[in-house]
C-alpha cells in the first residue's frame, strides 16, 4: 500500500509505501532515495530531534514527522511493518492520521504466530516541570488522557480520554488535525521551514479564531490531536502498554523526556505476554 503527499517542511512531493514485516520486526523506516537504502528502527533510542516534530535517525539518515503514521500503527494494533520513503519526511497528508489509518484498514492486518509482549505497569511513574506533567499508572488496558491549555479563546482548556482500541481510534482520534498559530507559521517560513504547510493540512489559528473556512472536525479537535501525538510518541517504546497515561500541557519534547524517565524506572514495570 502506498501514498503520496507533501512534505511539511520541504514542500516537496513525498512517496511512501508500507510493506508487511515478520514477527518481532517492529516498525522500521527505509530511505529508498539514499545509497544503500539505510533502515532506521522506530524506537525511542533513535529519536534525534523533537523541536518541531518527532525525528528518528541512524545509519547516516533521518526520517522526520513520523508521529502521525506511528499513531496510526499503534491505534490500529500494527506491530510489524516496513515503511519505505523517498525523502527525509513522512508526507503530512491532511495533517491527521486518517489517510494512513484508511490505508491500513484497506490493506487489512494479518495475525502472526509470535505472542504479543506488553509493558505492564505496576507502580506509578511521573515527570513534572512546573505546571506540566506526564504520568503513567497501573491499568488492565491502555488508556490515554490528555489535557491542554492555551491562552487563545479558540482553544482554551480541553481534556480528552481515549481507550486505545482500533475502531474508536479510527473514528474519533485519527481525523484530528495538527494545529498552529498563524504567526508561528510565518516565523517558520522566514527560516525556510513549513514550506508545505497550508490550510489543507493544518488547523490555523489567528488570534482568537480558527481561519479554516471548513472549521473544525470536532469541537475539541485540538486536544484530540494532542492525544494522537501522544500515542505516536509512546509507540516509540517499541511494544504496547498496559497502563493509563495522563498528560497535562505536554508535547513531543516532554513526552520524549518522560520516555527517558520510564526506562530509568525499571522497577515500576515489567514485560509480559497475554494468554
CB of 137 closer than 8 Å to CB of 244: yes
Residues catalogued as catalytic: 252
CA distance 154 to 144: 23
Tally of structural domains, the chain: 1
> 163 is in which domain, residue-wise?
2-273
End-to-end CA distance of the chain: 31
Per residue, the 3-state secondary structure of 32-76, as one string, reads: CCCCCCCEEECCHHHEEECCCCCEEEECCEEEECCHHHHHHHHHC
> pLDDT tens string for the chain (275 positions)?
788 999 888 888 999 999 999 999 999 999 999 999 999 999 999 999 988 789 999 999 999 999 999 999 999 999 999 999 999 999 999 999 999 999 999 988 888 888 999 999 999 999 999 999 999 999 999 999 999 999 999 999 999 999 999 999 999 999 999 998 887 766 666 556 666 778 889 999 998 899 999 999 999 999 999 999 999 999 999 999 999 999 999 999 999 999 999 999 999 999 998 75
CA distances from 156 to 149, 208, 244 (A): 5, 10, 24
pTM, whole model, 2 decimals?
0.94
- 169: domain CATH number is 3.30.1700.10
Helices (H), strands (E): how many in the chain?
Answer: 6, 18
**How far, in Å, CA of 25 to CA of 261, rounded?**
25
Amino acid at each position: 500500500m502506498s501514498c503520496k503527499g507533501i512534505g511539511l517542511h520541504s514542500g516537496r512531493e513525498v512517496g511512501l509505501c508500507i510493506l508487511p514485516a515478520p514477527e518481532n520486526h517492529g516498525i522500521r523506516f527505509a530511505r529508498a532515495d539514499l545509497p544503500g537504502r539505510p533502515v532506521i528502527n522506530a524506537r525511542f533510542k533513535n529519536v534525534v530531534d523533537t523541536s518541531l516534530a518527532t525525528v528518528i535517525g541512524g545509519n547516516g539518515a533521518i526520517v522526520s514527522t513520523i508521529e502521525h503514521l506511528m499513531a496510526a500503527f499503534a491505534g490500529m494494533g500494527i506491530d510489524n511493518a516496513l515503511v519505505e520513503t523517498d525523502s527525509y519526511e513522512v508526507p503530512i497528508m491532511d495533517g491527521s492520521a486518517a489517510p494512513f489509518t484508511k490505508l491500513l484498514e484497506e490493506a487489512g492486518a494479518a495475525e502472526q504466530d509470535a505472542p504479543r509482549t506488553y509493558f505492564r505497569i505496576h507502580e506509578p511513574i511521573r515527570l513534572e516541570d512546573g505546571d506540566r506533567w506526564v504520568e503513567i499508572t497501573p491499568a488492565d488496558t491502555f488508556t490515554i488522557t490528555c489535557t491542554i491549555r492555551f491562552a487563545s479563546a479558540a482553544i482554551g482548556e480541553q481534556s480528552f480520554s481515549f481507550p486505545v482500541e482500533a475502531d474508536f481510534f479510527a473514528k474519533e482520534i485519527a481525523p484530528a488535525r495538527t494545529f498552529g498559530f498563524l504567526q508561528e507559521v510565518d516565523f517558520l517560513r522566514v527560516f525556510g521551514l513549513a514550506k508545505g504547510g497550508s490550510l489543507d493540512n493544518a488547523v490555523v489559528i489567528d488570534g482568537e479564531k480558527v481561519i479554516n473556512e471548513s472549521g473544525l472536525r470536532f469541537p475539541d479537535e485540538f486536544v484530540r490531536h494532542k492525544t494522537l501525538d501522544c500515542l505516536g510518541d509512546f509507540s516509540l517504546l517499541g511494544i504496547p502498554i498496559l497502563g493509563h497515561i495522563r498528560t497535562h500541557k505536554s508535547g513531543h519534547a516532554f513526552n520524549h523526556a518522560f520516555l527517558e524517565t520510564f526506562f530509568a524506572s525499571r522497577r515500576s514495570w515489567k514485560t509480559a505476554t497475554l494468554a
